[in-house]
């Protein structure tokens, strides 16, 4: 099967970001499929002319430099989305395909996907990573009635034209079918990359020994975006209280985003920065396994908004892959999973002092920590391994192609 795979913010393991698309694409190639990824190059530097093409594990990746970062104005980000929408549409239309697959965000990637699929008379499959426009409306970020209407129409357009929709959580799937009942939808969450997160314990020992502030102390790690939805200051507030309860506990925040500086200033204001709380700029995915291997516990946070409970954050599954308990401050399907299996902690979202007490108590409970690590590992192996979830993903693509009409060779 020839697959055109559209993902505006595709990353490989040498880049900072989620590698879901990379892992799925390379596995498709290993199964004998041909995959062309269409994406953007957002690394800093001069604007280049035209497309740049690379090959990664048999996947052909087409890059076009379209600047983007979370510090841009809303209007500038919309311009980046629109620019890629046009570029990707033109590129996808020139590539041979038996199926076109597009993954959000942004939602605008559906447009080049649908148009290329219609031009080639092949199926279109759409992947929903965030539920738009429902989440930004609930957050208060999308207030203009006209913008809301356009975003809703775009979501309807994507779902209506998809042979099937892949949703990254049960809540996202429910949102898709609520908007457009009858849409064929399959839940395939983010995955645990077990091979990637299997690390040499000597590397972990060296990592801890290299950092004098860490040594053999308990370590809570946060890895990922520091954006408007994350509210990572929650961890800093909790660390302020933890210092009084247990001054040996350390916090490491590794990431980037619009609220990086404000989070850093909060830690500095508490007198935590460089002592209790350490902040590192984002690192390539390939460096995360040692960091998580050195962690006592990982973490994931969102602001207290119900729609954000349906997330499928990579950091949650990276923790499972590394056999590390994870602490979250929200409800929903991940909270249910942690309560049922004991693979982590569900912290109170309203009170960071209470959360600090929960963290200290569990970090110092050796029996609980051992059982939580074992539970995290079981979840990674039995429910969320990348290989296991890839089988479900390939089934969706094969099923979609199987439903299309037979075309002539000239098609």
Domains of the chain: 2-191+385-402 (3.40.50.2000), 201-382 (3.40.50.2000)
Instruction: Identify the pLDDT of residue 410.
Output: 33
Q: What is the pLDDT of residues 288-315, one digit of tens each?
A: 999 999 999 999 999 999 999 999 999 9
Which range has the worst mean pLDDT, 74-83, 182-191, 290-299, 372-381?
Answer: 74-83
Sequence-separated (6 or more) residues with CB below 8 Å from residue 121: 404, 405, 407, 411
Segment 378-396 mean pLDDT: 98
Structure tokens at 277: 């709380």
Instruction: Identify the pLDDT of residue 59.
Output: 98
Which range has the worst mean pLDDT, 115-124, 219-228, 396-405?
Answer: 396-405
Euclidean distance between CA atoms 156 and 145, whole angstroms: 16
Measured in degrees and rounded to the nearest 5, phi and psi for residue 245 equal -80, -40
| pLDDT level of residue 405 (50, 70, 90 thresholds) | very low
Instruction: Identify the pLDDT of residue 140.
Output: 81
Euclidean distance between CA atoms 373 and 343, whole angstroms: 7
| pLDDT level of residue 403 (50, 70, 90 thresholds) | low
Quick check: 10 and 18 in contact, CB under 8 A?
no
Task: Give yes or no for residue 85 having a pLDDT over 80.
Answer: yes
Q: How many degrees, rounded to 5, is the angle at CA 99 between CA 93 and CA 102?
A: 75
| Eight-state DSSP code of residue 385 | B
Whole-prediction pTM = 0.93
Task: Give yes or no for residue 407 having a pLDDT over 50.
Answer: no
The two counts, helices (H) then strands (E), for the chain are 15, 14
Q: What is the pLDDT of residues 332-377, one digit of tens each?
A: 999 999 999 999 999 999 899 999 999 999 999 999 999 999 999 9
Q: What is the pLDDT of residues 38-66, one digit of tens each?
A: 999 987 776 678 999 999 999 999 999 99
Question: Higher confidence at residue 382 or residue 282?
Answer: 382
Segment 187-200 mean pLDDT: 97
Sequence-separated (6 or more) residues with CB below 8 Å from residue 383: none
Which range has the worst mean pLDDT, 150-154, 218-222, 267-271?
Answer: 150-154
């Amino acid at each position: 099967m020839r697959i055109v795979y559209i993902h505006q913010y595709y990353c490989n393991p040498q880049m900072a970001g989620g590698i879901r698309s990379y892992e799925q694409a390379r596995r498709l190639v290993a199964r004998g499929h041909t995959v062309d990824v269409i994406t953007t190059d957002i690394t800093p530097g001069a604007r280049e002319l035209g497309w740049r093409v690379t090959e990664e594990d048999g996947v052909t990746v087409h890059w076009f430099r379209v600047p983007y970062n979370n510090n841009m104005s809303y209007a500038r980000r919309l311009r980046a989305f629109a620019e890629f929408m046009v570029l990707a549409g033109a590129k996808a239309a020139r590539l041979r395909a038996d199926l076109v697959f597009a993954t959000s965000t942004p939602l605008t990637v559906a447009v080049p996907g649908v148009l290329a699929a219609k031009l080639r008379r092949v199926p279109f499959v759409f992947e929903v990573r965030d539920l738009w426009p429902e989440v930004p409306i609930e957050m208060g970020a999308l207030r203009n009635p006209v913008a809301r209407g356009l975003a809703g129409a775009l979501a309807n357009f994507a779902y209506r034209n998809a042979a099937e929709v892949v949703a990254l959580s049960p809540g996202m799937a429910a949102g898709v079918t609520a908007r457009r009942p009858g849409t064929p939808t399959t839940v395939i969450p983010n995955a645990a990359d077990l091979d990637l997160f299997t690390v040499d314990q000597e590397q972990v020992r060296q990592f801890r020994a290299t950092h004098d502030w860490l040594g053999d102390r308990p370590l809570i790690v946060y890895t990922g975006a520091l954006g408007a939805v994350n509210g990572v200051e929650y961890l800093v507030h909790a660390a302020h209280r933890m210092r009084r309860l247990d001054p040996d506990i350390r916090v490491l925040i590794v990431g980037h985003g619009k609220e990086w500086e404000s989070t850093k200033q909060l830690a500095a204001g508490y007198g935590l920065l460089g002592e209790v709380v350490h902040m590192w700029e984002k690192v390539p995915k390939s460096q995360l396994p040692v960091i998580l291997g050195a962690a006592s516990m990982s973490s994931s946070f969102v602001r207290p908004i119900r729609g954000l409970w349906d997330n499928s954050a990579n950091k949650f599954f990276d923790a499972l892959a590394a056999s590390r308990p994870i602490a979250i401050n929200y409800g929903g399907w991940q909270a249910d999973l942690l309560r049922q299996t004991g693979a982590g902690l569900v912290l109170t979202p309203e009170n960071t002092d209470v959360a600090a007490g929960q963290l200290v108590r569990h970090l110092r409970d050796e029996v609980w920590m051992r059982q939580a690590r074992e539970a995290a590992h079981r979840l990674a192996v039995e429910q969320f391994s990348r290989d296991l979830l890839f089988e479900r993903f390939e089934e969706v693509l094969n099923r979609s192609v199987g439903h299309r009409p037979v075309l002539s060779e000239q098609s």
